[in-house]
Chains A and B, each alone.
Chain A
Amino acid sequence: MKQEWLAIRENTAIAPGVYRVTLEGETLEELHPGSFVNLRMDGLFLRRPLSVFDSEPGRLKLIYKVVGKGTERLSALAPGSKLDVLTGLGNGYDLAKAGSHTLLLGGGVGVPPLYFAARKLLAAGKRVTAVLGFNSAAEVFGEAEFHALGCAVTVTTVDGTFGTKGFVTDALPEKYDYFLCCGPMPMLRAVARATRTDGQFSFEERMGCGFGACMGCSIQTRGGAKRVCREGPVFEKAEILWDGEEK
């Protein structure tokens, strides 16, 4: 964990209610795919956690959807504004466990952290297939960016207005040997049932601190209580207790 003051370079809408913000800071290091940052916003007490879309030394990109007061205020900030950011939070994806052909499954604002993971996997010489799920055509983002990296990309929409009609689980490829997943809870549950290989899931939870101090975001796992912000947000399929499951 590091506390940094980062300057907003760009903060633009890329889909209705979905924004991409670029933050810059001289001391900013490259972050890990699947890790997150926690932003302090004027007028709000708690910080707001956001996953990392892309990162390199000195620069960080986040994609977020306006869902409440925190993201609403963030979307109104102009380039040049400075933000108090805690960086390097959580255990991200363990890419060493990924196989030679990794499937990336993202739903809505669960898509961004998978982009960073895809870039790293491809750089390591792995094959990557991405399936990105949205509600409808208007909400789709990220497809071109994944294509540009050199991934095979399938987009699904629930209403069929773009790509394959249905959920990401309706568009799973025949062959893959590992998966990484991020999205809303019902999607994670469906992916756990539909996939036949090992993989990793990124969880979301309301957080107090984001760095392990308050225990606000703990979930029950087969290995006991784990903090989503510290031991997570990424957990392996084998350790997750889905609703109603006993240890």
Chain B
Amino acid sequence: MGAERLAAELCGRRIDNPVIPASGTFGFGYEFAEIYDINILGSISIKGTTREPRYGNPTPRIAEAPEGMINSVGLQNPGVEAVIREELPRLGKVFQKPVIANVSGFSVEEYADVASRLDGEDQVGWIEVNISCPNVHGGGMSFGTEPAAAEAVTRAVRRVCRKPIILKLSPNAGNITEIAKACEGAGADGVSLINTITAMRIDLKTRKPVLRNVIGGLSGPAVFPVALRMVYQTARAVSIPVVGIGGIRSPEDVLEMMMAGASAVQVGAANLVDPLACKKIIEGLPAAMDRYGIRTLSELRGQAREDGGRE
């Protein structure tokens, strides 16, 4: 019973538990492996990868927010070649389960190219396609706010990948369920949501925006109710799995996300302020489930579907 209680399924593949660190908040895993055995995680969504190495935006690119933070990192990554040559082997030494490779791009062709290269790696179990980064121009989020563009990226990535593809969606789209349906129609195996919500802060002393890029993306507990609402609506609009992301920091938040219809969850900003956050959430799940009379997480997910039905 013990292990089965927390088991989840992500696009046809069993995971030990539904808790997955979100891309961009866990690097390539090894900083966290210094302080706990990260093999307890369901999986890891690794740092968003583009074709070429990227430095990202100028600093400062981090700002404090009430119950959250704003970042304007802008997809800093060493490029797909270095990820395959250096980062994945290094991660493989400390994490033996399949990982989620997070892919970004500035053209439909780049998305497909990067996705197909990562799809060929044995360590990669899923491809997560980030069409929702708010911090780059002419890429990222611009593919996630228009159904036709989301559909084009999904179709192109689907064509070149053997593994399940999960489209990571933006809360900044006019209607996130329309984007999710477009992705499903074009062959997505799942959707994950939400990426960050565009936001900013101003420094009262300098009277200037805190972020050099002015606008960034808000994450952390502040966005949890928004994310929950979007997961709830999306899970009722599509029949593919939904991965719930946004401000999760406790076992109770995981249960709430799964009740809203999530098959699995990703934990983001919480990792940055408490590097043990995912470990504490996983270890705290059984007691939280006991408190609410939940026998297994899978029963919970099924129930949410039953009660809600589809639009």
Contact = CB atoms under 8 A, between A and B. Distances in A.
Interface of A: 1-3, 40, 44-47, 69, 86, 205-209, 211-220, 224-225, 230
A200 to B, nearest CB: 20
A86 B272 contact: no
Contacts of A211: 31, 275
A234 B222 CA distance: 34
Given A209-B25, A211-B31, A216-B62, 18 more contacts: A2-B35, A3-B35, A3-B274, A40-B273, A45-B69, A45-B273, A86-B275, A205-B60, A206-B63, A207-B62, A209-B272, A209-B275, A212-B31, A213-B272, A215-B47, A216-B71, A218-B56, A219-B59
Nearest to B62: A216
Contacts of B31: 1, 211-213, 230
A46 B64 contact: yes
A98 to B, nearest CB: 27
Contacts of B55: 218, 220, 225
A209 B73 contact: no
Contact of B69 (A208, A219, A220, A224): A208
Nearest to A212: B31
26 contacts: A1-B31, A3-B35, A3-B274, A3-B276, A40-B273, A45-B64, A45-B68, A46-B69, A205-B59, A206-B61, A208-B69, A209-B25, A209-B275, A211-B31, A213-B26, A213-B32, A214-B71, A214-B272, A215-B73, A216-B59, A216-B61, A216-B71, A217-B59, A217-B62, A218-B73, A224-B53
A219 B56 CA distance: 10
A220 B60 CA distance: 13
Instruction: Place the interface of chain B in its size category.
Output: 35 or more
A1 B273 contact: no
A205 B57 CA distance: 14
B190 interface: no
Interface of B: 24-27, 31-32, 34-35, 47, 53, 55-56, 59-69, 71, 73, 76, 210, 220-221, 269, 271-276
Contact of B271 (A2, A45, A207, A209): A209
Nearest to B64: A46
A45 B277 CA distance: 13
A218 B271 CA distance: 18
Contacts of B276: 3
Contacts of B69: 45-46, 208
B59 A206 contact: yes
B62 A214 contact: yes
B27 A212 contact: yes
A58 to B, nearest CB: 20
Nearest to B54: A225
B275 A216 contact: no
Nearest to A47: B273
- Among B32, B47, B273, find the residue whose CB has the most chain A CB atoms closer than 10 A: B273
Nearest to A205: B59
Contacts of A212: 27, 31
Contact of B25 (A45, A86, A213): A213
A1 B62 contact: no
- Among A44, A46, A230, find the residue whose CB has the most chain B CB atoms closer than 10 A: A46
A230 B257 CA distance: 33
A214 B307 CA distance: 38
Contacts of B73: 214-216, 218
Contacts of B35: 1-3
Contacts of B221: 45
Contacts of B67: 45
Across the A-B interface, the 6 shortest Cβ-Cβ residue pairs: A209-B272, A216-B62, A206-B60, A215-B76, A212-B31, A213-B27
A230 B67 CA distance: 25
Nearest to A209: B272
Contact of A44 (B64, B269, B275): B64
A225 B35 CA distance: 25
Contacts of A209: 25, 271-273, 275
A206 B212 CA distance: 11
Contacts of A214: 24-25, 27, 62, 71, 73, 272
Contacts of A47: 273
Contacts of B274: 3, 40
A208 B63 CA distance: 8
A217 B272 CA distance: 13
A215 B27 contact: yes
Contacts of B62: 46, 206-208, 214, 216-217
A206 B32 CA distance: 20
A40 B53 CA distance: 33
Nearest to A217: B59
A177 to B, nearest CB: 32
Contacts of A40: 273-274
